[in-house]
Structures are given as C-alpha cells and as structure tokens.
Amino acid sequence: MFITFEGIDGSGKSTQILLLREYLVKNGHKVVTLREPGGTELSEYIRAVLLNKKLEVSEISELLLFQAARADLVKTIVKPSLDQGRIVLSDRYFDSTTAYQGYGRGIDMEIIKKSNQIGSLGVLPDMTFYLKIERNVGIERDKDKDRDRMELSGDEFYDKVIHGYEQLAKNESRFITIDGNKSVKEIHSKVVDEVEKLINK
C-alpha cells in the first residue's frame, strides 16, 4: 500500500506521516517512510542541488532533476518495499511535480504527465492526503526556518501551486482533502479513519 502526503510547505505533512507511522507500527504493520526529493544516496545529492539557494536552475532542468531523484527512489526503495507487503508513506510524490513545476513554473502539462510516468516507473499511490492551508499560514508556520531555493520562489508562484493542488483534488479520486488549519490531533484522526477504510477494503 502506497500513501502520499501533499501540500505546500508548513502544511504539516511530516508531522502527520510520523503520527501515522507510529499508529500503523503499533497495529502490526511494517512501514517505510520517505521524503521527496531524497531517500537514496543519489536522490539526496540531487536534493542538495535542487534546494541550493546559490544555484540558478532552469524550469526544465529542475523538472528533470526531480524526476531523476524520483526514479532512483522508486526503483531502490518504493517498489521493493511494496513487493514485500510494506506500507509506504511518502512526503510528496509526483503530484508535487504537477503542482510546482506544472502549475507553478508553467511547464506544459503534457510534458509534466509524460515525465511523471517516467519518473514514477508507473507506480501510483493508492491514496493521497492533501493538507490544505493558505499561503500565509505556511509562511507563518515556517518563519523561523532557513528557506531553501524552492521556498524563495515568491507569492505568485505559491498561489499557482495552491491552485494546482485544488485542481488535482477535484480531478483525482485518490485525493483526500483535509483542512490543514485543524489541530494535529483532528487531522491525525481523519487520516487514520481514511487509511483504515483503505486497509479494510
């Protein structure tokens, strides 16, 4: 089972993944948690390049770097873990590419779709949680954090990204939208309810 978490920075994805992992392990499941980009030696090197504030990276170069990191992660960790019957939880997946590089950077959606198919090696999530918050909420939550290259892309960019997520949530049946302004406990409870439904299908 493959479950992904999406949303802008500061939406609470990593917190909810940790809580869900704890819940699932307690209930006897074998769980693997990941973040994108990253998770393998190669992917972590690519992550460092992508987030480096000192580098200027073109839109297409950025897209291809994300997909290279993803392909390595899927081949090395995601597919083997799923084949072993583990539950894989990922902080971001190809929906981030659609929202950030497609809607945010304005890359043609056909290019985005094709590159997502290649980068994911055809591995699709069973369920995706979209933690929905306003841009200013994410900025406020992350105000003490050293912002990386992606996070410095500006308000207009992030408004486009949020619009992208809204479109995905409307059009993808695997998407579950959760109000990210709710308490950590309330969000976790909703996540657990939905995951249990998936497990018991």
Residue 153 reports pLDDT greater than 80 = no
Strands 87-91 and 2-6: parallel
Higher pLDDT pick, 51 / 147: 51
In tens, the pLDDT along 180-198 reads 999 999 999 999 999 999 9
Q: Is 90 helix (H, G, I), strand (E, B) or coil?
A: strand
Whether the model pTM is above 0.85: yes
What are the structural domains of the chain? 2-199 (3.40.50.300)
Model pLDDT, residue 146: 60
- Specify whether the CB–CB gap between 92 and 36 falls below 8 A: yes
